Amino acid sequence: MTAYRFAYSPCPNDTYIFAALTHGLVADAPAVKVLLEDIDDLNIHAQRGAYELSKVSYGAIPWLMDRYRILRSGGALGRGCGPLLVARADTGRTLKDFSGLRIAIPGERTTAFLLLQLALGLRPQTTVMRFDAIVDAVAKGHVDAGLIIHESRFTYAEQGLIAIADLGAWWESASGCPIPLGAIVVRDDVAVGQAARIDQAIRASLHFARNHEAQIMPYVRAHAFEMSDDVMRKHIELYVNDYSDDLGADGLAAVRELFARGRAAGIFEPHAEARML
């Protein structure tokens, strides 16, 4: 049987969830051929329909709905896990201070950038760079501020930066919903029955990881070589939760609210809707 190409990030939450599926440890699961890519690259490649399965940002999904559906498992949603805007202490203190300044972002279609635009009420000046280069660029003064995601939220203070705004906290306060960060999408040419099997296999892969960590943590560690074990564990604890198992009713409501706000702000097209499996 031909393996489905499955692209996801090397971040600990993804490698933790998908390790068992990747290594054939999930009984009766469809075969997958894994590719590891930065989230911005994942969004770009998904827009071209490059892979049958892909992790993507919710901020990118409105541009993917002509060819992909959202799975209920494997995604990244939660509370207290949103992106942060960080800067040097002498640059500014409030979000509005940065309306006219240059901000490094991890991608044009990331949920982080969507939330920044919604919170600011405008599209700021930006420079796109890999998420793991942003903190250093801010600290060296190459940009005025940085929009950070993933493990950078645990390390930015080590370079003397301060948090200007917690965009996850802003979203939760404004909407009352958890933060929809990323999802697993399946291409339309994968039959519905097979897509459902994949969805269940991802859920089983997460259950395997929780019950057999000793077998999957070497894979997680191998792709988290630039972070300490403490940061790696914090990353998993923050981003892997009940929503990773199933989107659930409140997770789906959060996705719909994000789309509604994106449409109202003119960032998404008026017809943009989330297509679920």
Q: What are the residue numbers of the active site? A: 150
Of the candidates 182, 186, 174, the one whose C-alpha atom is nearest the C-alpha of residue 260 is 174
> How far apart are alpha carbons 262 and 50 in whole angstroms?
25
Question: Containing H/E element for 68?
Answer: strand 68-70
Strands of 90-195, DSSP E: 102-105, 125-128, 145-148, 161-166, 179-187
Question: Containing H/E element for 4?
Answer: strand 4-8
Concatenate the DSSP letters of all residues of 171-198 into one string. HHHHHSS-EEEEEEEEETTS-HHHHHHH
Question: Do 73 and 245 contact (CB within 8 A), yes or no?
Answer: yes
> How far apart are alpha carbons 72 and 88 in whole angstroms?
39
- Cα–chain center distance at 244: 12
> How far apart are alpha carbons 81 and 85 in whole angstroms?
13
Establish how many alpha carbons lie within 13 A of residue 60's alpha carbon, considering only the half-sphere containing its beta carbon.
30
> What angle (nearest 5°) sits at the alpha carbon of residue 239, between those of residues 32 and 148?
105
